[in-house]
Amino acid sequence: MIKKIAVLTSGGDAPGMNAAIRAVTRAALQMGLEVYGIHDGYLGMYEDNIEKLHPRSVSEKMGHGGTFLGTARLKQFTDIEVRKVALANLKKYGIDALVAIGGDGTYRGALALSEMGLPVVCIPCTIDNDIGGTEFTIGFDTALNTVIDAVDKLRDTSNSHRRCSIIEVMGRNCGDIAVWSSIATGAEVCICKETGYNLNEVLKTIRKAAKVKRHAIIILAENMVPIDELAKQVSENTPFDARATVLGHVQRGGAPSARDRVLASEMGVKAVHALLNGSTHHCMCVRKGEVVPIPIEDALAVDDSIQTIEKYEVFKLVQ
């Protein structure tokens, strides 16, 4: 029977991680469990950087971005000897299950621990919305709102100067931030992994826009094409002067949106329920709006690009 659980955040940080830690902690304590917070993800598990959490340990954390437990990347966690040390540390405290909050790498680490006998449940928390099996990850909604806010501001100045704004957003493995923000800001062009990149098509679309409006917006996902090169092409081959803006890590920060806070709270509560109900290698997913646990390996096997492509079809029809 599970009596003591640990919670950690791992991989890239995302707004809503604190809300998820809070929910796991409060729900587990209310269900009569002891709760331990592991600092800096799997690194803290390996280095025994673990503290007992109380209801007040998670007070006033919900509205803050980032993660108060800290996060880290530890490549050596793929090594079974490193994981053995980490598991031995958990044993010292009598911890018998883990909630791991993070992205797909965090899932792989958790799966490896479950194969060594530790029951784990993962919570999807990454701004990129790039985890298979779930319609939404915690942090995506907040990051999307940050992007929309920035693009709206850039549009004001582009319109005044008859410019084309090119905005680079995160999402090298999944174009959801690019596609959703393109829909929400009425961008002319969206370029991401799922759409591919065709310079001639981009220039044609921007030239067409220049005939009827004073500005144009291109949303570009990172890792597709150097943004300055694209800006040069637009400036030289369309009536617009182009300006490049890389939003970068600002997309990862900020107070989580209402939606991310509620999703994190629901997933946190349901993760504890899942552990108590016997889940040993599961992750929380939004499926048709419902939060449910599925096996981690099933989530990792899902091709996540289908839902991005479906949304891109919407973008094309509302341009």
CA 226 to chain centre: 23
The one among 10, 89, 279, 308 contacting ligand ATP by CB under 6 A: 10
| Residue bearing tokens 């000897």 | 81
State yes or no: is 128 an active-site residue: yes
What's the closest the beta carbon of residue 225 comes to ligand ATP, in angstroms?
22
Which residue in 43, 46, 54, 39 sits closest to 7, CA to CA? Answer: 39
Q: How far apart are CA 213 and CA 159, in angstroms?
A: 8
Nearest residue to the partner ligand ATP, using Cβ? 105
The one among 8, 27, 39, 42 contacting ligand ATP by CB under 6 A: 42
Angstrom distances, CA of residue 38 to CA of 6, 12, 29, 69, 111: 7, 16, 16, 7, 17
The one among 78, 157, 198, 223 contacting ligand ATP by CB under 6 A: 78
**C-beta atoms surrounding 287 within 10 Å:** 11
Stretch that binds ligand ATP, among 7-15, 114-122, 187-195, 280-288 (CB under 6 A): 7-15
| Contact between 66 and ligand ATP per CB under 6 A | no
Q: Which is nearer to ligand ATP, 105 or 293 (CB)?
A: 105
Angstrom distances, CA of residue 271 to CA of 95, 185, 266: 16, 35, 8
| Contact between 124 and ligand ATP per CB under 6 A | no
> Which phi-psi region, left, alpha or beta, contains residue 39 (left: φ > 0; alpha: ψ -120 to 50)?
beta
| Contact between 176 and ligand ATP per CB under 6 A | no
What's the closest the beta carbon of residue 116 comes to ligand ATP, in angstroms?
11
Which residue in 92, 138, 121, 103 sits closest to 260, CA to CA? Answer: 138
Is residue 15 classed exposed, middle or buried when 0-12, 13-18 and 19+ CB atoms within 10 A define those classes? Answer: buried
| Contact between 74 and ligand ATP per CB under 6 A | yes
| Contact between 126 and ligand ATP per CB under 6 A | yes
Q: CB–CB of 263/16 below 8 Å? A: yes
| Contact between 154 and ligand ATP per CB under 6 A | no
What's the closest the beta carbon of residue 158 comes to ligand ATP, in angstroms?
31
Q: State the binding string over 103-122 for ligand ATP (x if CB under 6 A, else -).
A: xxxx-xx--x----------
The one among 15, 37, 44, 102 contacting ligand ATP by CB under 6 A: 102
Q: Which is nearer to ligand ATP, 74 or 234 (CB)?
A: 74
**C-beta atoms surrounding 205 within 10 Å:** 17
| Contact between 171 and ligand ATP per CB under 6 A | no
Active-site positions read 128
- Name the residues that contact ligand ATP, by CB under 6 A: 10-12, 42, 73-74, 77-78, 102-106, 108-109, 112, 126
